[in-house]
Chains A and B, each alone.
Chain A
Amino acid sequence: MKLEIKNVSKRYSRNKYGLKDFSMTIDKGILGLLGPNGAGKSTLLKMIATVSKPTEGMIILNKNNILKDANYIRKQLGFLPQDFGVYPNLNAFEFLQYIAALKGIADKEIQFKIEQLLNGLNLLDAAKKPIGSYSGGMKQRIGIAQALLNDPKIIIFDEPTVGLDPEERVRFRNLISDLAQDCIVILSSHIVSDIDTIADQVAVLKNGSLLSYSNQEKLIDRIDQKVFEVAINKEHLDNFKNNNIVISTSRKEDKIAVRYISESPIDGSVSQTANLEDAYLYLTKTN
């Protein structure tokens, strides 16, 4: 499995790009996409999923140009859009059967599979109720289930964990970590902790461009030994923020504890172990 994205641009209007001259090559495994709002994550994922077409560039899967032959990827694709709807009058079973039919999966065997998926996503009890009566997180899990119906080899999840409670997040992670062996799994999120436990590779996007694409260790290495924490007075915070890259702040008695990144820490700073979140914030704040 090899997915190549070559010089892809998506232009929405004259000067408005969703993605600009974007290239990357994705191998099998789990790729986490990080980026602030409006970075272009959904734009990229929709183009890979053949939902929208690039204005320029090529997307190639195993030497097949999917812009010319969309059905080549659609046959092996599972896609969870960021915004999606359901037919509220159908129940989970019926809706998944419908999606299965859309994907062209034989009717007979699918029953059992749907049952398994609903079970794995903890939806079996509600499966006979109309989806219109589902909670937000339950609807999201229906979306996850539909993406996995056709034994996909390329799985694209745009913010899959939105609306899931902590328990369901864990269940979701376990579910997809099993897929990494012979599939390409791409998931986007703003929540770094959703990515850091499972992603083999991490790509950071901002303003339609790729800021970094590597495995987690390499990304974190960049700021190794540069993360510190210091307690300062409240009135100095604004000034401090102007001169340093602040990751986070928290209240500590009458002072403020500041986690920040710097080559030359101020006095009283304590060195911290760098994590993915630090690296991500460092990247997006400095670029």
Chain B
Amino acid sequence: MNIAVCVKQVPDASEVKIDKATGTMVREGVPAILNPFDAYAVEEAVRLKEKHGGKVFAVTMGPPQAGEVLRHVVAMGADDVMLISDRAFAGADTWATSYTLGLGLKKLVPLDLVICGKQAIDGDTAQVGPGVAENLGLPFIAYVRKIVDMSDGRMKVERLIEDGYEVVEVSLPAVITVVKEINAPRMPSLKGKMKAKSLDIKPLSAEAIGAEAEKIGLVGSPTKVMKVFSPPSKGNRERIDGAPQEQAARLAEKLREMKVI
């Protein structure tokens, strides 16, 4: 069973600052990490490999430094990696990103399954998973919280919906995105870390994956950002700190004072 996981390098959310002037995120000097949702995708892929055999490929599109997240996922158990990196990809929106990742994934065929995280914590659109499926012409299931069964070229999953879950069956190959309920990602292993360290990651250029120049990067991105702003703070707020019980008691007291309850 060959499984590909799409992983994205994102800024560590606990360190993020917003540039007041431009309203955009300050990326310089902010440590980069594996998109937290993608850790669940990697874990699930590695578990499937442990159960059914096969290989796990990790794919990312990003600047050369994004190779670091590939090392991280190899330490978690991925077997092989693909770094798609070229200046021409800069400024890609979800449309161009999905196209590019799709081309990279096509080089890994035959694949049985592609797993993406639910969403990236920076872009936050949750569009790349379905976009990749579209580009590969494969069926797609979002928000998978459990893989119930996998046999005879079919897969049965539970997908999270607002007030419960659905059980869906799909033929393979397919693309899925996973939610954090699906598993608990493992710590890297020592042997994995050693393997990751010695890994020679050769970036694939736009040409290497056969990308059409007008479909990638800023040029290939129909999304035009009109304005970026931080929502104005509403002011007049009060923070209640303390142990949960104290907070609840204090909140109830306040609401009573305001005659809301």
| Co-assembled chains A and B | no
A positions within 8 Å CB-CB of B: none
Residues in B lying within 8 Å of A, measured CB to CB? none
